[in-house]
Structure 1
Amino acid sequence: MAFTRATGKHRRPSRAPRAVRSGANLAGIATLAATGVVAGLAAPALAATDDGLTVEDTGLRQAVAIGGELADQVAAQAQTQQSAADEAAAKAAAQAQARKEAARQAAEAKRKAEAAAKKAKQEREAKERAAREAERKRLNTFVLPITGSYVSTSYQSSSGLWSSGSHTGVDFHASTGTPVHSVGSGTVVEAGWGGAYGNNVVIKMNDGTYTQYGHLSSIGVSVGQTVTPGQQIGLSGDTGNVTGPHLHFEARTSPDYGSDIDPVAYLRSHGVNI
């Protein structure tokens, strides 16, 4: 006898396999959501199960929400990192600009310092040149042997007072003790007693001529000493062959007696107003 299956609806399979599959699906979705990959599974996962369970019932919405939060956190972290990178870049650029500005200021300061040093050097050299020129002029100038005096006895005046019969120099009016000055720059070649000239000083001038100062009451220089215009060399007096105190002044072409030249013309030729 043959057996036959009863007609009607097929017997519904056990729910256990479906539950296992649903659980597996949820686990996979949760895993994907944790990594932020949920978009591709969203459509099939939202379909209802054979048992009529919805997405809400399966917990998929919670998985999607968690995935969104993680994505927001990742985005926020990326934004923070980008902001930090931008801030570091801005700081580095500011530091580079500051270094560049500092270098520019240092170069400008150096340029100004060099310019100031150059100007100071030029001014110093100009002052030195002016001082040398002033000294040169001073050393080349001539002055009266007695300040503010005048010629009381002229050159080549005739008198029995002089052995040559005429005056070989000029006499400047002066009382005893009046300062006597060198008329210009030179070197003392004689300082002491000069016979009829009394105490006298003879100076070889820088231009090669000679000047003589006689009848001094005292002498203030020595042989070999250099003198400058206006330097005091002694005091006037009345030593030697004189009738009263005065300064006898001669100009000569050599240190020897008889080489005399006109003292007034000599002083005037050197710019002395006499």
Structure 2
Amino acid sequence: MASGKHRRPSRAVRVGANVAGIATLTAAGVVAGVAAPAFAAQGDDAHRGPEDTGLTQAVVMSDVMAGNVDAQAQTLRYSADESAAIQQAQVLAQHQAAEAKKQADEAKRKAEAERKEQERAAREAERKRLGVYVSPIEGSYVSTSYKASSGLWSSGSHTGVDFHAETGTSVRSVAAGTVVEAGWGGAYGNNVVIKHNDGTYTQYGHLSSIDVSVGQTVTAGQQIGLSGATGNVTGPHLHFEARTAPTYGSDIDPVAYLRAHGVDV
């Protein structure tokens, strides 16, 4: 007979090999604990099948443990995914909050800029309104110049200028101001004197009617009366004076005064 090298491995050897293989696939110590009876059975139970040994129990327990490991791994994956989703949601919420704050700040900045621009425009409009000057009679012209000589005037010369105007023509305040005189003015007839914001005064004489009263504020271009021929006159016209004070004798050149304020006379 051939040498022992061609003989099949004994059952004990095969069992040992199986146990070793299972131990490689399972956690350390599990197979060792359940495989021990298999080795012990090599004597009396040598003819029992593998199902009668501890190997079957080792395989079953190995499968259970593998299932538990898989379940734990799946749970960890779910937990990791949920944590990542929560973190992503938090990042998104923070981004949206930052964007909302940015938009709110920008809207606030624009509103503040618009408010300041409106205030500036209002101040500019008020400044222009107060600083605007117009001719006392629209579309008229000077018919008698300043300082013209004539015996008609007590001073010997004209203390203002005459604007051509028929009776009933609208007479306007040349600028914003306050009425300091409104009524009969002797040789001036019905007259109005207005103090303006720059401290100067203007006078409007020979009016046929007066539309304002003392203490009233007026704006540039506002009608204060109608032209006429009251007082010391030879015909209807508007006598206009510019003064440094409300009284007679403080007159200055009315044409130069109006031109200095942008009025084309």
**Under a length normalisation based on structure 2, what TM-score does the superposition of the two structures give?**
0.78
Tell me the residue number matched to 1:74: 65
Deviates more, 1:151-160 or 1:185-194: 151-160
What secondary structure sits across from 1:38 in the alignment? helix
Tell me the residue number matched to 2:213: 222
The structure 2 residue matched to 1:44, chosen from 25, 40, 45, is: 40
Tell me the residue number matched to 2:197: 206
Structure 2: state its 5+ residue gaps: 1-29
2:110 partner letter: K
Please give the alpha-carbon distance, in whole angstroms, between the structure 2 residues aligned to 1:59 and 1:77.
24
Tell me the residue number matched to 1:246: 237
Q: For residues 85 and 211 of structure 1, do their structure 2 counterparts lie closer, same or farther at Cα, with a shift above 3 Å needed?
A: same
Please give the alpha-carbon distance, in whole angstroms, between the structure 1 residues aligned to 2:40 and 2:68.
31
**8 Å Cα contact 2:35-2:58 kept in structure 1:** no
**8 Å Cα contact 1:48-1:55 kept in structure 2:** no
The structure 1 residue matched to 2:52, chosen from 47, 57, 60, is: 60
1:129 partner letter: R
1:169 partner letter: G
**Under a length normalisation based on structure 1, what TM-score does the superposition of the two structures give?**
0.75
The structure 2 residue matched to 1:171, chosen from 162, 170, 194, is: 162
1:227 partner letter: V
Please give the alpha-carbon distance, in whole angstroms, between the structure 2 residues aligned to 1:190 and 1:169.
17
Alignment RMSD (CA, Å) = 2.5
Please give the alpha-carbon distance, in whole angstroms, between the structure 2 residues aligned to 1:76 and 1:215.
118
Please give the alpha-carbon distance, in whole angstroms, between the structure 1 residues aligned to 2:210 and 2:133.
21
**8 Å Cα contact 1:153-1:170 kept in structure 2:** yes
Q: Give percent identity, aligned residues only.
A: 64
Deviation at 1:67, TM superposition (A): 4.4
Q: For residues 80 and 177 of structure 1, do their structure 2 counterparts lie closer, same or farther at Cα, with a shift above 3 Å needed?
A: farther
The structure 1 residue matched to 2:253, chosen from 254, 258, 262, is: 262
Q: For residues 208 and 54 of structure 1, do their structure 2 counterparts lie closer, same or farther at Cα, with a shift above 3 Å needed?
A: same
Which 4+ stretches in 1 moved above 4 angstroms? none
**1:1-274 matched pairs, under 5 angstroms:** 37-45=33-41, 47=42, 49=44, 54-56=47-49, 60-61=52-53, 64-274=55-265
Please give the alpha-carbon distance, in whole angstroms, between the structure 1 residues aligned to 2:260 and 2:46.
139
Deviates more, 1:102-111 or 1:153-162: 153-162
Please give the alpha-carbon distance, in whole angstroms, between the structure 2 residues aligned to 1:84 and 1:218.
102
Deviation at 1:59, TM superposition (A): 5.2
For residues 215-257 of structure 1, the C-alpha deviation after alignment (integer angstroms, 9 at most, x for no partner) is 2232222211222322222222233333333211111222111
Deviation at 1:48, TM superposition (A): 5.4
What secondary structure sits across from 1:180 in the alignment? strand
What secondary structure sits across from 2:96 in the alignment? helix
Tell me the residue number matched to 1:18: none
Please give the alpha-carbon distance, in whole angstroms, between the structure 2 residues aligned to 1:153 and 1:263.
12
Deviation at 1:104, TM superposition (A): 2.3
